[in-house]
A and B are shown apart, each in its own frame.
Chain A
Amino acid sequence: MSQDTSLTANVTPETQAAHPERSVAELKQIAAQVRRDIVRMVHAVNSGHPGGSLGCTDLLVALYFRVMKHNPDFQMSGAGEDLFFLSNGHLSATLYSVLARSGYFPVSELATFRKLNSRLQGHPATHEHLPGIRVASGSLGQGLSVAIGAAQAKKLNQDDRLVYVLMGDGELDEGQIWEATMYAAHKKVDNLIAFIDHNGQQIDGPTSEIMNLGSLRAKFEAFGWKVLSTNGNDLDTLLATLNEARQLTGQGQPIMVLMDTQMGFGVDFMMGSHKWHGVAPNDEQLEKALQQLSVEEASDY
C-alpha cells in the first residue's frame, strides 16, 4: 500500500544545509506533500491536530528546506547548526513530516504516528529518541524559554548559528511566555527568531472572544523585541520576511515574526474555523482533502 519513495531519495545530507537554490515552486510541492502527510496521519489514528498543522506547514517547509543549516544525521547538541523548537507541540504531524522528508528518519515511520510503541508520540518527545526532537513540548508556554536557553548556550559556545521557535497565538495566554519575553530582551538574546502562529483561533473559539490578544506588535515592541509581520501561508512573502529577520539578528534584540495564518490552510472545509483544531477527517473528508492537496508526483508514505 504505502511506498517509501520520499522526497529525500535524491537529497544527500550535505545538500541539506541552507538551500538558497531551492525554488519557491519546489517548496510549494514539498508543502503540498507535507500537507498530504498531515491529513493522512491524523486520519489513520482518528486523532491529532490538522488545523494548526496545515496552517504552519509553509513555515516549517521554508525553514527546513531552504533557510536553516541543519544536519539530518542528528546530534542533540546541534553545534554549528540552526535549531528549531516547536513550542505548540500539538503541531507534531507537521514537524514529523518535515523531519522525515528532510532525512532524519524514514518517511514510512510516519505511519506509526500516535500508535503504541511509536517514536512519533502525540506530542513531540525526546524520550523515544526520535531524531530531530530536542525537547518535549505539548504542555504549552515552555518552548520560548527552552529556545532562549539554547540560544544563550550557543553564545557561550561562540556558535554563530540561529535558534528558531514557533508558538501558537492561543499559547500566549500562558504567563511563562511573558517571563521569557522580558528575559530575552533584557539579555539581548539576538540570535533568536520567534514566530507567532497568528490564526486567531483557540480550542474554545476565536482568541478575540476567549482571551483578546490586543496588539501583539505593540506588546512585543514594548518588551523590547524587533517585530516583523508576514503572511505565513504565502511562501514568497514568508521567505522575504525570513530573510529580513535573519538580517536583523546580531543587533542586540530578539526578533519576533507575527505570522498571519489560516488554520487548515490548503483544505477549504478546514479553513477559517477552530473546529478542526483537534478533529481528524473521516474517509470521505480525507479523499476530498487529498484532491485539493495535489502534487505533481505524490510520494505518500
Chain B
Amino acid sequence: MKDFPYSELKDTRSGFGAGLHELGKSNPDVVALCADLTGSLKMDAFKKDFPERFFQVGIAEANMMGLAAGMTIGGKIPFTGTFANFSTGRVYDQIRQSIAYSGKNVKICASHAGVTLGEDGATHQILEDLGMMKMLPHMTVINPCDFNQTKAATIAIADHEGPVYLRFGRPVVPNFTPADQKFEIGKAVLLNEGADVSIFATGHLVWKAILAGKLLAEKGIDAEIINIHTIKPLDAEAILQSVRKTRCVVSAEEHQLNGGLGDSIAQLLAREEPLPLEMVGVNDSFGESGTPEQLMEKYKLNEAAIVAAVEKVLARKQK
C-alpha cells in the first residue's frame, strides 16, 4: 500500500475559493454569483478583488440560476455559490430548463454537501444532489476529494463549455493530492494499484478509502484504490480495466446509494462485466445533527465501513 503524505488539513470549499480567485485573475469572462453565503463558500477573495464581476443575489437561489443562465448569453462564465442543498433540490427546475436544457455555460458550485455539514442537521445535509444532477442531460458532475483537487477542478471547469455541477464540503480533510495536478474532467485517478478488490471512492470518501486500504493491507488484502472525481461522464474504461483484474468491487461516497456513484458503477457492471459489488453510502435515510466524524461513523461512511464492504465482497468473489 502506497503512502499518501500530506502537510495540512484543509477544507475543499477553500479549494473552490482559491480556484475562483485564480480564475478572476486569469479569465475576465468569469463572474461569480452568491446567495448570501460568501464567507461559507470562501468567495471573499474574488469579491474583494473583482467587485464588478461579483453579484450578491441575496437568499434567492431560483433567481440566481436564471441570472446565471442569462449572463452566459453575453459570453460570461458564471459560477454560482451556495450550499449543495440550495444549489440542487431547491432550484431543480430552474437548472433543468434555463441551464441544462438550454445548454448554458453555468458552473453550479455547491458547498456543505453531505452529512459532514454537521450540526445544522438534515435540513441542510443533502445526500441526493449527485443523483439529481447526473440525471440531467448535458450536465457534468464533479466531486473532488481535497483542497488541491477542488482548486484544480474549479479552474478546469472554466475551460469546459457547458453546465457543470461541482460539489465540495465543509470539513477539513488531509490535503494529499499534488498542488500542481492537471485536473482532467472524466478521468479517474489511480491512487493505489492492487490485485484483490477495486475500491472506487469519490469526495470525502477518497481519504477514507486510503485509510481502509492500510487496514486491509494489514490483513493481507491488496486493494486497488481509484478516485472517481467525475461522476458524469463516468470513466468506464478505467473502471472496467480495474475490475477485470480484481474481479470484485466496492464503491464509497457521501451520498444516497440510490442515484450516486455506486449506482452508476452498478449500471456499468451489469451491462459490461457483471461482478459482485458492495456499496458504501447512505441507505435511504436522512442525516441528523452531530459532528462530521460522529456522523461519518453512524452512517457507515468511514474506513471501517469500507473494510467491512471489502470483506463482504471478497466472500462473494468467485474463486
Contacts and interface: CB of A to CB of B under 8 A. Distances in A.
Interface of A: 76-79, 83, 125-127, 134-139, 141-154, 156-157, 159, 175-176, 179-180, 182-183, 186-187
A145 to B, nearest CB: 2
B101 A154 contact: no
A11 B101 CA distance: 33
B102 A126 contact: yes
Interface string B50-89: 0011010110101111111111111110100000000000
Contacts of A149: 66-73, 78
A135 B98 contact: yes
B223 interface: no
A186 B55 CA distance: 11
Interface in B178-237: none
B66 A176 contact: yes
A136 B73 contact: no
Given A139-B97, A142-B66, A77 B58 contact: no
A183 B63 contact: yes
Contacts of A152: 55, 67, 70-71
Given A134-B73, A153-B75, A183 B67 contact: yes
Contacts of B67: 145-146, 148-149, 152, 180, 183
B74 A125 contact: no
Nearest to B29: A156
B60 A83 contact: no
B71 A150 contact: yes
Contact of B76 (A143, A147, A153, A183): A153
The interface centre, meaning the residue of A145, A150, A152, A183 with most chain B CB atoms within 10 A of its CB, is A145
Given A135-B104, A179-B60, A183-B60, A145 B75 contact: no
Given A78-B74, A146-B66, A148-B63, 18 more contacts: A76-B73, A77-B73, A145-B62, A145-B63, A145-B66, A145-B69, A149-B70, A149-B71, A149-B72, A149-B73, A149-B78, A153-B71, A153-B72, A156-B74, A157-B75, A179-B62, A183-B60, A187-B55
A138 B62 contact: no
A83 B73 contact: yes
Nearest to B91: A176
Contacts of B60: 176, 179-180, 182-183
Q: Nearest 9 CB-CB pairs, A to B?
A: A149-B70, A145-B66, A153-B74, A179-B60, A179-B63, A149-B67, A146-B70, A150-B70, A176-B62
Contacts of B70: 135, 145-153
A180 B58 CA distance: 10
A156 B74 CA distance: 9
A71 to B, nearest CB: 14
Contact of A150 (B55, B58, B73, B102): B73
A175 B98 contact: no
Contacts, number: 120
B291 interface: no
B254 to A, nearest CB: 30
21 contacts: A76-B73, A78-B73, A125-B101, A136-B98, A139-B93, A142-B94, A142-B97, A145-B63, A145-B65, A145-B98, A148-B63, A149-B69, A149-B73, A150-B71, A152-B55, A153-B74, A175-B62, A176-B60, A183-B57, A186-B58, A187-B55
A125 B101 CA distance: 8
B98 A182 contact: no
Interface of B: 31, 52-53, 55, 57-58, 60, 62-76, 78, 93-94, 96-98, 101-104
Nearest to B75: A77
Contacts of B97: 136-139, 142
Nearest to B64: A145
B57 to A, nearest CB: 6
The interface centre, meaning the residue of B57, B73, B75, B104 with most chain A CB atoms within 10 A of its CB, is B73
Contacts of B62: 141-142, 145, 175-176, 179
B74 A135 contact: no
Given A135-B69, A145-B65, A151-B70, A126 B55 contact: no
B49 to A, nearest CB: 16
A154 B63 CA distance: 18
A153 B77 CA distance: 10
Nearest to B65: A145
A78 B73 CA distance: 8
Nearest to A87: B66
Contacts of A76: 73
B165 to A, nearest CB: 18
B317 to A, nearest CB: 45
Contact of A142 (B55, B73, B78, B98): B98
A183 B62 CA distance: 12
A220 B65 CA distance: 22
Contacts of B94: 142, 145, 176
B98 A154 contact: no
A79 B76 CA distance: 12
Nearest to A152: B71
A175 B93 CA distance: 13
A152 B31 CA distance: 11
The interface centre, meaning the residue of B31, B55, B71, B93 with most chain A CB atoms within 10 A of its CB, is B71
B58 A182 contact: yes
A286 to B, nearest CB: 31
A225 to B, nearest CB: 15
A135 B63 contact: no
Nearest to A175: B62
A183 B33 CA distance: 12
A127 B96 CA distance: 12
Given A149-B68, A150-B70, A183-B60, A135 B102 contact: yes
